[in-house]
Structures are given as structure tokens and as C-alpha cells.
Amino acid sequence: MFTKLERTKVFRDPLYGFITVDYKIIADLIDSREVQRLRRIRQLSGVSMVFQTAEHSRFTHSLGVYQMANLVCENVEGMDTISEYEKIVFLCSALLHDIGHGPYSHAFEHTTLENHENMTVKIILNPNTTVNKILTRASSTLASDIASVIAHDNRFPLIESLVSSQLDVDRMDYLSRDAYYTGTAYGHIDYLKILRSMKVVSNKLLVRASGVHSIESYLMSRYHMYFQVYFHPVGRAYECILESIYKRIKDLYLERGYFSDSVRAFLNVLNDSNDIESYIEIDDAYVNGFVKAFTKSEDPILNKLSNAFMDRHLFSYIDLNDEPDEDLVEAIKEKYDNENKKYFYYDVSVSAVAYLHAKKSEIYDIKVLLPNGKIKSLDAYSPIIKSLADFSKTIKRIYYFED
């Protein structure tokens, strides 16, 4: 039995009206410094350079994912068959799934070579973190079970699929939320209808045939959000500068073995990705802080990049899909020799599918429950998804820095 709060705690949210917290462990986790740190990391990194109103943090998203998990427990038929312990594993996994994110996460991962899921697992398992202490106090197995869900160990397949799959509480929150904050029309999904069409049977998540249209619509929304928002060329141009700055710091450090104090925590993490104490210190403000300091760096490359970041002097780009002048593209490519290429030139290629088909990944497939009780894969059931079986879209761009 997990302790309940005397009176339900609520957080206002424009998407759900209220986010409600009944369990003490959830309230404690929200107050932990590892979760609070997410207030200082923007959800969409460089995207707010284009969609300036998308300034929301990973914290508000994390609360939203938790609330979506709540809504799953309340609305999905069959969810009452799971135990309270499993429910807590689910709610905590939803809340904590992003605590491993660094600032400007994409560029950060490229430099540290650690993905954020791994970092989330490390933070949950590290006995010195507040999160770990709260979990362990409540139950000795809780931290490792949640870590298992995040790591996709297949020990809690239902919860795993609810937390991270092609149709999960994470995506359902961020599509709606990012649409709300950017002001675009693409991410509107009919989550209430989706939840009502889901059914848990024998510990498996199914979708009733009558709900398939809302699933198709959700998949299309996700696809459009990718190309309209997440892959927006200007957002990426901003992240290119940052990736180069990270890279240059790393190179200078490897070369000289010494660096200014302002990046100590960052270097600690580069040296040892288990240094959670340092990792937690790093947030958007930390990065903005050292970049600001490096605008006066004596290293000409770091100096140039840091000033570019502060003055929003972004990388230029050419979209190769739009039939650009080939001579121009060649001329640009030639201009960047090897050393320059490292910091001042990027070939970027981003791809997305509308749906990852069963033949590519059985475990990610969405299963449809027909009125007659049969179960079919979404591929087989939905004509439009079937037509998109071999579809994927790739955008290729070159990014280059002009003085």
C-alpha cells in the first residue's frame, strides 16, 4: 500500500485543466531536485528560436506525461486489472522518463555519446540522488523496476508499451503540448477518444477497431509535427552552433588537459558519465553561462562560435530536396576543408516514417481488436497505414557557417 496525500494536490494545466496528485510518492518526486532541474531545460531546445512562444520546459511536459498516465489508469478498460504496485511503477516511469535529458539535448548527446535514456536510468539507480532515495524508501524494488521500464528490459511489457512505443503517454502529451505552445494546428490529437478506444487484454494493449481512425490521425499528426516543428531548419541551425561549441571545448580539453572552471561540470561528465552530481548541475542556464564567458575566449574558433550563439548568427543552410543549384552546393562544400568542416559545416539528414511497420519491428506494432474478437496488426487492418508501408521521408540539408 502506497501512502495517499490527505488532500489531492493539483497543478493547473492548460491542456488537462488540472493535473492531480493523490500519492505522496509522486508529490515527493515532483519536489525532488532532479525533477525540479527540468524546469531549467527547455523542451524544444533550438526550436524556440523559430517558434518563439515554445518556451516550455521539460518539467511541464513531465507533469503532463504523468497526468496522461493518470488518465490511462482512469479511462482505459482493463487497466484496473494491474496491481497498485504496477500502477505506481507506471506513474513514476511516466513522471521520470525525461530526467536524464541534458540542455539542448541533441547536441549534448552527440558530444557526451550517452543517450538520455541511459542517463535517466543512471539517475534513478544512483543511491545518492533524491529520486532514488524517495523510491527506495517506498519500496526496495521500485527504483530498479522503473529503471527496467525505461531501459525496455521487457520485464513489464504492458507498462513499457504505455511509456514508450508508437502510442504512448509521452508522445500523446508532447504532441498536444508542443502544438499548444508553438501555436501550430498539427499536433491536435484526440487523446480522450484514443484512451477510450484502448483496452488491456491479458496484459496487452489493444485498440478497438472503432478507434483506428483516431490512431491514424494521431500518427499523421506526429509525422507533421516532425517536419513542421522538430526538424525545422532554423531550429537545427541554432543547434549546429552549440554542437560545434561542445565539440571545440572537448577538443581543446583533450589537447590541453585543462580548462576554465566555468565548464568543470561539463568536463566531469565527458570524463565520466556516471558523475551524476555534475550532470545535475548542467542545465540551459549553465550552458548559456559558459557560452557567454567564451565570447571573450582567446581560442579563435571558440570565440567565433560563442559570439555567433549569443548574437544568433546562425548557420546558413540549403535544402537539398528542393533542387538547389548544384554548382552552388559544390562550391560551398569545397570551401570547407577538413579542419573547417569539423566545426563549420554539417551534412544533416533527418528521416521519419508515418508508422514503423510490423515487419520492421514487431514489438512496436499497434494491435487492433475487431468486434468479432480477432486481433490484427494495424498494418493489416488500416488501408492507409498499409499504403505507407514502404514510405519514409528524408530531408537532406547542408549547414555551413559564413562569417
Site pattern 227..266 for its own copies (x: CB under 8 A): xx--------------------------------------
User: Which segment (33-41, 115-123, 160-168, 267-275) binds its own copies by CB under 8 A?
Assistant: 33-41
φ, ψ of residue 365 to 5 degrees: the values are: -65, 145
Answer yes or no whether residue 155 interacts with its own copies by CB under 8 A.
no
CA–chain centroid gap for 72, Å, is: 20
Would you count residue 269 as binding its own copies (CB under 8 A)? no
Among 324, 332, 342, 367, binds its own copies (CB under 8 A): 324
Smallest distance, Å, CB 223 to its own copies? 7
In the complex, minimum distance from the CB of residue 226 to its own copies, in angstroms, rounded to a whole number: 9
363 binds its own copies (CB under 8 A): no
Q: At 222, which amino acid appears?
A: R
Which residue's CB is nearer to its own copies, number 290 or number 345? Answer: 290
In the complex, the smallest distance separating the C-beta of residue 201 from its own copies, rounded to whole angstroms, is 15
Cell numbers linked to 389:
508501408
Site string for its own copies, 179-218 (x = CB under 8 A): -xxxxxxx-xxx-xx--x------------x---xx-xx-
With binding defined as CB under 8 A, does residue 377 bind its own copies? no
Q: Which of 9, 40, 133, 152 is close enough to bind its own copies by CB under 8 A?
A: 40
C-alpha to C-alpha distances, 253 to 196, 243, 266, 369, nearest whole angstrom:
54, 15, 11, 56
Restricted to residues 54-113, the positions that interact with its own copies (CB under 8 A) are: 55-57, 59-60, 63
Q: Which of 3, 5, 10, 128 binds its own copies (CB under 8 A)?
A: 10
Q: Which amino acid is at 350?
A: V
Which residue number, 96 or 142, has a Cβ lying nearer to its own copies?
96
Smallest gap from Cβ 17 to its own copies, in A, equals 5
Under rule CB under 8 A, residue 326 binds its own copies: no
CA distance 318 to 320: 6
327 lies in the site for its own copies, by CB under 8 A: no
Select from 285, 329, 331, 380 the one that contacts its own copies (CB under 8 A).
285
57 versus 111: smaller Cβ distance to its own copies: 57
Nearer to its own copies, 124 or 212 (CB): 212
The distance of closest approach from Cβ of residue 393 to its own copies in the complex, given in angstroms and rounded to an integer, is 5
Applying CB under 8 A, does 355 fall inside the site for its own copies? Answer: no
